[in-house]
Amino acid sequence: MTMQTVREVMTTSVVYLPSETTLAEAARTMREQDIGDVVVADGPELTGVVTDRDIVVRAVAERCDPAATTIGEIVSTGLVTVHPDDSIHSAALLMRDQAVRRVLVCDDNQGLVGIVSIGDLAEEIDPESVLGGISKASPNT
């Protein structure tokens, strides 16, 4: 049996936004794209990742104005990456060790090629688990 790779489960449609994007606009983009994160990039340089949870915990809970606060002000800059050919098990262990829910998938030649979430891995590693079941369910609207 061959080990399943990150390439087989990653999301390849990565959404990039510049750091000056407001939280309100980033949230609308996430809603429209049905995603929970955006990659913050100014030109070719990746700054970090902002998640829907970041917007809530780092901004809304602190009473920041979503129309005036930018994603650059709350971005997580400690990028955790995996290679597309890494096993999904090694990616899950890395997520556990780094206490992150998403990792960027970077190829040596192409740079950023995707994102993999803990939900993506749960669906593959243990689809009968509670997390696997939740991840497969249709999103709330």
The pTM of the full predicted model, rounded to 2 decimals, is 0.82
| Residues in the chain, overall count | 141
pLDDT value at position 109?
Answer: 84
Domains of the chain, first to last: 6-136 (3.10.580.10)
119 vs 102: CA distance, rounded Å: 9
For 10-66, what is each residue's pLDDT tens digit? 999 999 999 999 999 999 999 999 999 999 999 888 999 999 999 999 999 999 999
